[in-house]
Each structure stands twice: as C-alpha cells, then as structure tokens.
Amino acid sequence: MEGKQVKEDMEARLLEGGVRPTAMRLLISKFMLQQDTAVALTDIENAFAKVERTTIYRTIKTFEEKGIVHQIDDGTGIQKYALCEKGCKCDIARDLHLHFHCRNCNQTVCLTNYKLPHINLPQGYSAEDISLVVTGICKKCGL
C-alpha cells in the first residue's frame, strides 16, 4: 500500500507538471524517486532492459522541460538527472543547490540542503543558471 501511495503521488506530480502519466513515465519517475543519486540515461536503460533508449531520452527531456527533473553536469561529460524537490521552480536563489561528484564511486548526489552562495558578477553580465559541482570523495567512500 505504501507503493501505491508513492505511485499516486508521482501520478499527481506528473499531472501538476502537465505531463500525461503514462506507464512509461510512471516507471521512469518512480525509478528516479528510489535512487539517492543522480542517474544517467544509461542507468535507466540498464534498469529496464526492455525500454527503448529513445523513449527514456524523450521522457527525461519532457520531465526537464516541465520542471519535474533537473539536469546535472558533474564534469564526467555524461548528463545526469535528478527529481526536483516538491515546489521547486529551479530558482537560482531558492532552489538551486550544490552537487557532489565522487571520483571513487563515480556517483553524483544532490545536496539539496546546500543552496548556492550568492554570486556577484562583473558589470554587464547576467546570470540565468548556475552550476556548482564539488568533486572529491563522498561519505561512503571516505574511510
């Protein structure tokens, strides 16, 4: 019954975002909900051998457009994604947060409690998005 609750929550969330909650989309979004790290397309592909890569690709892109997930560029050159938090508008000051990439386990996590510091820029520059990624050794991999 807990699983059902999760499912309904996710369904509601997709609907809120204006995304039709198809089987595929529920499958993928629920998978992401279970992860405690950011996922790459390939991760999802491996988790569901049956599902077409393109479908996953387009699903994620749809999620991204509708503000259901955010993309993370952790420096590996591979795009990662994570679910946005409830009420997230990807606002620089309120929602954007630090990401940590572990060079040992190669995993990337959202540190949603660590918001971005205020950045000031030279005259004439305007900020629309900010990426702050720390690379090092994560909690699990540290001795």
Using only C-alpha atoms, the chain has a radius of gyration, in whole angstroms, of 16
Q: Determine, following the binding rule CB under 8 A, whether residue 142 of this chain makes contact with a second copy.
A: yes
Least distance from Mn ion to the Cβ atom of residue 101, Å = 11
Q: Which is nearer to Zn ion, 105 or 111 (CB)?
A: 105
Segment contacting DNA by CB under 7 A, of 4-12, 39-47, 110-118, 128-136: 39-47
Q: Compose the 40-79 pattern: x for residues touching DNA by CB under 7 A, - for all others.
A: xxx-------xxxxxx-xxx-xx--------------xxx
Q: Determine, following the binding rule CB under 7 A, whether residue 37 of this chain makes contact with DNA.
A: no
Which H, E and C letters describe 85-113, residue by residue?
CCCCCCCCCCCCEEEEEECCCCCEEEEEE
Give per-residue burial for 112-139: e unless 16+ CB within 10 Å, then b: eeeeeeeeeeeeeeeeeeeeeeeeeebe
Binding site for Mn ion (CB under 5 A): 82, 110
